[in-house]
Amino acid sequence: DAPYPYRDAEPCLQLHGLSKRFGNQTVLQQIDLTVYNGEFISLLGPSGCGKTTLLRLIAGLDQPDQGRIELHGQDVTRLPPARRDYGIVFQSYALFPNLNVADNIAYGLRGNKEARRKRVTELLALIGLDAYATHYPAQLSGGQQQRVALARALATSPSLLLLDEPLSALDARVREHLRREIRQLQQQLGITTVMVTHDQEEALTMADRVVVMHRGGIEQSGTPHQIYRQPASPFVASFVGQGNFLPVQINDDGRVQLGEHHYAIPHTLAVGQAASLFIRPEDLRLHPEGELPDHTVWAERDKQELLGALYRITLRVPAWGQHTVQVDLGHEALSRLGQAQRVALSLPLERVHLFPQEATC
Ligand code: ATP
């Protein structure tokens, strides 16, 4: 792995022990997080895990019950939103319908008329809407409106950009396009960014670091590669991407028993402990007859679905206690496999993760 580019950067935003309750429901529990200058962080998690609440605390739109928020080392926990140095973009475009694009962008700007006009021109160029200065929000597409909202958030050159599901109201094509545009802009400006999303693809493709939240806590924080390749818990493994969970047992000799087979996989689990073996569908291998590598079992083909670039094959594996697994294959690999009902399946041990059984999602 290349060294993480923000490893030596100065902290921009620091959250220390943030907790929040609504009535008797604890929505955030002891959140600690440091976001470095220039970093793009995405807060990813299922609905209700507390990510929007966390963003609102950072923005000062809500107050924490406990904990401290620092921006560039200054305690801003009790400061009103207007005195914190950030720009924010919400899911709904939240533009003023009676102001044109230029006036929407200029809304929070100070200074004389000429300086404001110059800044608006710069921002219009930045978002590629030079020709739309005098248009009204209702005359723009959803994607264009969101770009205007972004320009407005960036107008005062804040040191922090907060994005609350900024793309989720847009259709798939526009969303994908804007993902790239926002990321490019963020890198060009070097602006520290925290984005809330429940969309794993969005989090993985846009962020330098993904913070996975679950039930008001941080489950794992890491680069997209780490989150996908080294999930720290069954929750992360199943929430980000797809995967097979198979029940296993740890033998007296430390090997991992899966159905009739045992495998030498490094682990820190106790002998006799029940555990789950996790493997991604693209990491399992199917082999045409004739060339069988180590750790091969026979599997029976069941369903086959086209996902687009890949096929997802469901297989029943008698030797693994009759469990079913899903395997993703490219079109070519599938055609090499032919029509055989019975196929050889192997488990690349270096791709396997073991989780204690009791740590369920
Ligand atoms: P979503 O993606 O659905 O917005 P989320 O992860 O952003 O989910 P939050 O909006 O932070 O989750 O909500 C976390 C929990 O806090 C939810 O159970 C929600 O009902 C509750 N909650 C949020 N805001 C309030 C509020 N103002 N009053 C009472 N409960 C609230």
Whether the predicted pLDDT of 359 surpasses 60: no
Count the alpha carbons within 13 Å of 249 in the hemisphere toward its beta carbon.
9
Please provide the CATH number assigned to the domain covering 11-85+158-239.
3.40.50.300
pLDDT band at residue 3, thresholds of 50, 70 and 90?
A: confident
Nearest CA to ligand 1 atom 24: 53
Whether the predicted pLDDT of 316 surpasses 70: yes
Question: Which is more confidently placed, 169 or 137?
Answer: 137
pLDDT band at residue 358, thresholds of 50, 70 and 90?
A: low
Whether the predicted pLDDT of 1 surpasses 70: no
Main-chain phi, psi angles of 27, to 5 degrees: -95, -35
Nearest CA to ligand 1 atom 10: 52
Q: What is the pLDDT of residues 54-95, one digit of tens each?
A: 999 999 999 999 999 999 999 999 999 999 999 999 988 789
The predicted model gives 240-249 an average pLDDT of 94
- Cα(52) to centroid(ligand 1), Å: 7
Best residue among 27, 63, 200 to mutate for probing ligand 1's pocket (most ligand atoms within 8 Å of CB) is: 27
Q: Where are the alpha helices (DSSP H) in the chain?
A: 51-59, 101-106, 113-126, 142-154, 172-189, 200-206, 224-229, 234-239, 331-337
Instruction: List the Cα angle 284/288/293 in 5-degree steps.
Output: 60
Between CA 283 and CA 350 the distance in angstroms is 10
**Residue 361 has what pLDDT?**
46
Q: Say if residues 140 and 152 touch (Cβ distance below 8 Å).
A: no
Nearest CA to ligand 1 atom 27: 22
- Cα(166) to centroid(ligand 1), Å: 17
The predicted model gives 193-198 an average pLDDT of 96
Nearest CA to ligand 1 atom 17: 48
Between CA 258 and CA 262 the distance in angstroms is 6
Q: Read off the amino acid at residue 85.
A: D
- Cα(253) to centroid(ligand 1), Å: 47
Nearest CA to ligand 1 atom 31: 22
- Cα(53) to centroid(ligand 1), Å: 6
Best residue among 18, 20, 22, 168 to mutate for probing ligand 1's pocket (most ligand atoms within 8 Å of CB) is: 22
**Domain coordinates of the chain in residue numbers?**
11-85+158-239, 244-356
**Residue 118 has what pLDDT?**
94
- Cα(49) to centroid(ligand 1), Å: 7
- Cα(343) to centroid(ligand 1), Å: 47
Whether the predicted pLDDT of 273 surpasses 50: yes
- Cα(48) to centroid(ligand 1), Å: 5
Cβ < 6 Å from ligand 1: which residues? Answer: 22, 27, 45, 47-53, 198
Please provide the CATH number assigned to the domain covering 244-356.
2.40.50.100
Entry pTM: 0.91
Nearest CA to ligand 1 atom 22: 22
